[in-house]
């Protein structure tokens, strides 16, 4: 889209889980002067959950993965992501070394944020990686049948009633440097990633909504390519946007990026068999999103569907092509002022 270098005074913040924020920050590299990841810390997955118990700390997994993704030291990147085979110790099977490192640093320093910073320095990470909070918080949800579940793993579990709302078991504040980064950004990108357990989980910490409302730049949501079993079954694009607008309040979300590509039907069938259904908005959805005060930008973000990835305790989904995503995000960041007044 851009044949020549563009202005390099743009500051981009990606808010959410490790995979989505990593993708966004790689995509904006050609035009962003500085890049900051503000990462969810409520995961209770197998490796992360055990590390949380060891360190008495927030979830390190997505922070570790993000640091590794931007490590200038490739050996450190591989070391952070190295998973033990157990070697006769079942509790260690699948444990990522970086999670243990952050746990140890947290115990040594008594400061989770410092532990993350030390890890990023060891890896010579090229982006700033911040936890959304330093509180050892538990994510909870109220389901459509009014039952309540505790812990991120239970919140995202499949074959349960739909999620009605999120909350933290004990209210907790966001990390002040993360809030400052959000306020001072030219672009804050929410997602892509798990709507409830990554994007909306970050917003549960006190101060995040206000910081997004005070953001000097543009706040955009990168809508997922498909639904996600256990979280967004039966959702359309507008349902994703509506949940975010309801959480943030009116006038905070400026734009939403929506995939308009047509992936291979055979590949789509494979995903559908796993409960992942393509999100493609119709004209009525687009009009309804616009009526909510959010600018819908439908762009071809998946130029091709690559080979399936084997992910640790997660499902693969249709990925956005980095160049296409970057071009769309540059289009968003160049919008002057707030689109919805």
Give the pairing of strands 148-150 and 139-143: antiparallel
Q: What is the b/e burial string over 199-220, where b = at least 16 CB atoms within 10 angstroms of the residue's CB?
A: bbbbbbbebbbbbbbebebbbb
Cβ burial of 239 (10 Å; 0-12, 13-18, 19+) is: middle
Domains and CATH numbers, the chain: 1-40+167-341 (3.40.50.10680), 44-131 (no CATH)
pTM of the model: 0.92
Spatial distance between the Cα atoms of 201 and 207, rounded to a whole number of angstroms: 13
Using DSSP bridges, classify how beta strands 163-168 and 187-190 pair: parallel, antiparallel or unpaired: unpaired
Of residues 277 and 283, the one with the higher pLDDT is 283
Q: CA-CA distance, 192 to 194, in Å (whole number)?
A: 7
Specify the higher pLDDT residue, 88 or 210.
Answer: 210
DSSP 218-251: EEEEE--SB--TTTSTT--HHHHHHHHHHHH-TT
Q: What is the CA radius of gyration of the chain?
A: 19
**Those residues with Cβ within 8 angstroms of residue 20's Cβ, 6 or more apart along the chain or in another chain:** 14, 191, 192, 193, 198, 199, 222
Span 221-265, pLDDT tens digits: 999 999 999 999 999 999 999 999 999 999 999 999 999 887 767
Look at residue 99 and give its three-state secondary structure. Answer: helix
DSSP 3-state of 37: strand
pLDDT digits (tens, 9 = 90+) for 98-111: 999 999 999 999 99
């Amino acid at each position: 889209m851009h044949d020549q270098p563009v202005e390099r005074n743009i500051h981009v913040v990606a808010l959410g889980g490790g995979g989505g924020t990593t993708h966004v920050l790689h995509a904006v590299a050609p035009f962003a002067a500085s890049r900051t990841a503000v990462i969810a810390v409520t995961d209770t997955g197998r490796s992360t959950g055990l590390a949380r118990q060891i360190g008495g700390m927030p979830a390190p997994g997505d922070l570790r993965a993000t640091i590794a993704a931007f490590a200038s030291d490739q050996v450190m990147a591989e070391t952070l992501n190295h998973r033990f085979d157990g070697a006769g110790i079942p509790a260690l099977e699948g444990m990522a070394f970086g999670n243990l490192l952050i746990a140890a640093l947290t115990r040594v320093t008594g400061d989770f944020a410092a532990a993350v910073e030390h890890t990023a320095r060891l890896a010579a990470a090229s982006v700033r990686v911040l936890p959304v909070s330093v509180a050892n918080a538990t994510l909870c949800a109220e389901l459509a049948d009014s039952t309540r579940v505790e812990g991120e793993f239970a919140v995202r579990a499949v074959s349960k009633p739909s999620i009605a709302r999120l909350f933290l078991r004990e209210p907790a504040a966001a990390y002040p440097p993360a809030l400052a980064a959000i306020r001072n950004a030219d672009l804050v990108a929410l997602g892509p990633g798990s709507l409830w357990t990554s994007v909306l989980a970050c917003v549960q910490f006190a101060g995040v909504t206000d910081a997004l409302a005070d953001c000097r730049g543009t706040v955009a949501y990168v809508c997922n390519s498909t639904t996600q079993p256990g979280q967004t079954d039966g959702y359309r694009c507008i349902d994703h946007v509506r949940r975010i607008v309801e959480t943030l309040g009116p006038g905070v979300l400026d734009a939403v990026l929506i995939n308009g590509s047509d992936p291979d039907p055979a590949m789509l069938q494979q995903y559908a068999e796993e409960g992942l259904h393509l999100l493609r908005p119709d004209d009525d959805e687009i009009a309804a999103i616009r009526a909510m005060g959010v600018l819908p930008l439908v762009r071809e973000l998946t130029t091709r569907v690559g080979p399936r990835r084997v992910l640790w305790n997660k499902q693969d989904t249709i990925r956005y092509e980095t160049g296409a995503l970057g071009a769309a995000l540059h289009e968003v960041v160049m919008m002057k002022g707030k689109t919805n007044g």
